Amino acid sequence: MKRGESSRRSTRRSPRTARNCWTIPKGIAACRDKLLAVIDTADTEQLKDLIRAVEAASESFVARRMNKSVRAVLAGKQIDEVEVR
E-strand ranges in the chain read: none
**pLDDT computed for residue 11 by the predictor:** 46
Among residues 64, 80, 62, which one has the least CA distance to residue 72? 64
- pTM as predicted: 0.57
Domain boundaries, given as residue ranges, for the chain = 26-76
| 25-41: pLDDT as tens digits | 899 999 999 999 999 99
Give the tens place of pLDDT for each residue, 4-25: 544 444 444 444 444 446 688 8
Q: What local confidence, expressed as pLDDT, does residue 16 receive?
A: 46
User: How far is 82 from 85, CA to CA, in rounded Å?
Assistant: 10
Helix (H, G, I), strand (E, B) or coil at 73: helix
* Terminal Cα distance for the chain, rounded: 44
